[in-house]
Every structure is written in structure tokens, then in C-alpha cells.
Amino acid sequence: MIMTAPQAEPVPGNIKVTRSDWIKLALETLISDGIESVRVLTLGQKLGVSRSSFYWYFESRQDLLDQLLKHWHDTNTTAIVERARRPSDTIIMGVMNVFECWADERLFDPRLDFAVREWARRSPDVRRMIDQADDERLTAIRDMYRRHGYDDEDAFIRARVLYYMQIGYYVLDLKEPVEARVSHLAAYLRSFTGQEPTEADVAHFMRFIAAR
């Protein structure tokens, strides 16, 4: 789900078209058609407005692309980092905090992440941003393990296994319903932590799933 921040009043003469509208459509186009299709003229035609509306809000096409990357970082990367840093009584609770990102696309949008990774194949600058984001995410997860007593190498490897497994899951485009996946929750937790989850642990996460 693509969500953007509320914006001010629309530009006079372009009723109902705001900066948020441009960004939302650009994100949808990036996901569905790729970065080459994110063009000012095409977006304007879809919105039913002239290019002058675009330049009221953005200095250039590159300015819009920068805003797309900022949105991607502020949602997908921030969600993982925030949940990995969230205080937790046990490592099992910590891992379940991170699992929230995989279970709720309002927190982490896999289609957007995949679209930006595809974009990175064509842009060295975006490739560097992807590498930095992956490092931020991995570092936050590694530090989560370290806070719960895992040594440096064990924390590093467990963070990679947890994160790379999930990214690979998206790349393979597996069509497994969330409900089917969480039916194996206890086994996943056991695998990622080396500890045995309690029934209360599993029930805690199932409540999150039900409340989505």
C-alpha cells in the first residue's frame, strides 16, 4: 500500500491535484512499469493536468525521483530499523517485532522494494542507496541480536539469514498467503533464534496478524 503525507491546498487552476497526487502516481508507475515510465508528461496526462502543475511542486524530474527514493527509505528501511531497535524482553520478541514488517505491507512494501532494486540495475547512484539501505537494515537486526547476548559473528550471521531469506522470498515472488506462513511461526522463530518459543509468544504475534 502506498501512503504519502497529507499536503497543502492544490495549485490554483489544478483542482484536486496536489504534490501528494504526483508522488502517489509516480510510485504506482514505478512499481507497475519501471523507472523509465516515470515521465512528467505521461503522469500529467494521467492526472489530467498541464506540466505547469508539476513544476509548481518539483524543480525537475530528478527532484521527483529523489522524492520517490526518500519515500522508499522513510517507509521500508525505517520500518525495519525502528522495529529492530524496539525494546524487547527476549530475542524471540525482538524477531517478532521485525516480522511485523513482513506481515503488514503498510509497514514494508515489497513491490516498492523490488521496483527500486530493479531501478538500481540502471543507476549506480540508486545502487549505492540500495547498498546503504541494506547495510542499515542488517546493522539494526545484528545489533538486536547482540543486545540479547549473541556474540558478534553469531549476531552478524543470524541477521543475514533472517534478512536475506526475506528479501529472497520477495525476489522469488512466492505466492504463499500470510496465514499459511504464520502456521510455521514457531519453527521460524526456533530457526532464527535457536530458542524455543512459548505458546504465549505465538499467540502474541497471531494477535498482531488478526489486528492488521
Round to whole Å and give the CA distance between 10 and 128: 34
Please report the pLDDT score of residue 1 as a whole number.
53
Round to whole Å and give the CA distance between 116 and 72: 8
Instruction: Provide the residue-wise pLDDT of the chain in tens; the chain has 212 residues.
Output: 555 544 444 444 445 799 999 999 999 999 999 999 999 999 999 999 988 899 999 999 999 999 999 999 999 999 999 999 999 999 999 999 999 999 999 999 999 999 999 999 999 999 999 999 999 999 999 999 999 999 999 999 999 999 999 999 888 888 888 788 889 999 999 999 999 999 999 999 999 999 88
3-state percent helix, strand, coil for the chain, nearest multiple of 5? 70, 0, 30
Task: For domain 15-58, give its CATH number from 1.10.730, 1.10.10, 2.60.40, 1.10.3210.
Answer: 1.10.10
Give me the residue spans of the domains in the chain. 15-58, 65-211
Please, which residues have CB within 8 angstroms of residue 12's CB and are 6 or more apart in sequence? Answer: none
Please report the pLDDT score of residue 181 as a whole number.
86
Where do the DSSP E strands lie in 18-106? none
Please report the pLDDT score of residue 6 as a whole number.
46
